[in-house]
Amino acid sequence: MSNNGENQGSVSKLTLKVQRYNPDRDKAPYMQEFTLPFRKGMTVLDGLLYIRENIDSSLAFRASCRMGICGACAMLINNLPRLACHTPVEEIGEFTLEIKPLPNFAIVKDLVPDTSSMFEKHASVKPYLMRDDQEEMEHPTAEFVQSPDELESYLQFAYCIKCGACVAACPTSATGKLYLGPQALTQAYRYCGDSRDNKSGERISAVDPYYGVWGCHFAGACSQVCPKGVDPALAIQLLRRKVFAQSLGGKERTPSPVAAPPTGSKEKIPVPEFTVTQDDRS
């Protein structure tokens, strides 16, 4: 078995050491080794699926989209939280991988973490737009105006897929069960930084306690592992700045207004002659 990335052309076998734990049967988790054929370009998720289909159908893990968008397949791969579907084996450069469930979450079974604590914390920071004009929010007449600059000031943080990799990497989350964690705090800033919102005060009171934004000591591990380039560590420091500014008497912004009704409509582009219309068909 080769452990070396250099001669990967000749590698034909992959060894996955997977942490197993069945709450109905096992007292403690244990490691189990699987050897399977290696195929060029395969991801860690491909390997796990191979095990489940061909070797041991009782292996539990979570995955859905297999394209880095659902956030279900985050796990600890060779000691770093990653998306299994987004991690080609060749990128790691080793052909013996150790796979464990995400730390800082309880284990449901094998590689399945219980991420409900993260979702509860996420909900607690009010991750949605809040404005005074309730009527416009419920029965919108037009979109809210937002400049490209205003969009970019929070857009990066809106790419979060709630995979939990950042929480697994965070040393404060490792000891503080109450700590809101990088995922929730980032989403608090994503909405506080949105020019269409003017109720960041409500969100700030959710993140101001000691287990909120002040629990971050800027280890930056969250940003290192985030598979979507969200940079939670940056969002948290910007949030802290906002909380600090508000404590010094900073004011809520005036939210961006509703777009003005169009003054006139542009000339319609004529339908090309070759287009098949409904009438032609019948």
Partner 1 sequence: MKAQSSERRYLENYLGIKGWVWGGRYRLERYLYTLHRISGLALLFYFLLHIAMNGFRLSSGESWTSLMDIFDTPIVKFGEYLVLAGFTFHALNGLRLILQELGYTLGRPKPPVYPYVDALERRRPIVFVMGGVIIILLVVFIFNFI
- Distant-in-sequence contacts of 200-208, Cβ < 8 A, 24+ apart: 200/242, 200/246, 200/252, 201/246, 201/252, 202/126, 202/130, 203/125, 203/126, 203/130, 204/242, 204/243, 204/246, 206/124, 206/125, 206/126, 207/125, 207/180, 207/239, 207/243, 208/243
Q: Does residue 161 belong to the site contacting ligand SF4 (CB under 6 A)?
A: yes
72 binds, among partner 1, ligand FES, ligand SF4, none (CB under 5 to 8 A by kind): ligand FES
Q: Does 160 bind ligand SF4 (CB under 6 A)?
A: yes
Q: Select from partner 1, ligand SF4, ligand FES, none the partner in contact with residue 85, using the beta carbon and a kind-dependent cut-off of 5 to 8 Å.
A: ligand FES
| Torsion 51-56-61-62 (CA) sign | positive
Q: Which does 165 bind (CB under 5 to 8 A by kind): partner 1, ligand FES, ligand SF4, none?
A: ligand SF4
* Helix 232-247 × helix 200-207 angle, to 10°: 110
Measured CA to CA, the distance from residue 19 to residue 51 in angstroms comes to: 13
Among 18, 99, 226, 243, binds ligand SF4 (CB under 6 A): 226
Query: How near is the Cβ of 87 to partner 1 at its closest, in Å?
Result: 13
Candidate residues 6, 138, 152, 279; the one interacting with partner 1 per rule CB under 8 A = 152
Nearest distance in Å: CB 162, ligand SF4: 5
Single out the segment in contact with ligand FES by CB under 6 A; choices: 52-60, 68-76, 124-132, 199-207: 68-76
Residue 64 contact, options ligand SF4, partner 1, ligand FES, none, Cβ 5-8 Å cut-off depending on partner type: ligand FES
Which of residues 121, 126, 228, 242 is near ligand SF4 by CB under 6 A? 228
Q: Helices in the chain by DSSP H: which ranges?
A: 44-50, 89-92, 116-124, 134-138, 148-155, 165-169, 171-175, 181-192, 200-207, 221-225, 232-247, 278-281
Say which entry of ligand FES, ligand SF4, partner 1, none residue 174 contacts (CB below 5 to 8 A, set by partner kind): partner 1
* Residues of span 27-46 touching partner 1 by CB under 8 A: 29
Residue 31, both tokens? 């490691």
Q: Among residues 95 and 154, whose Cβ is nearest to partner 1?
A: 154
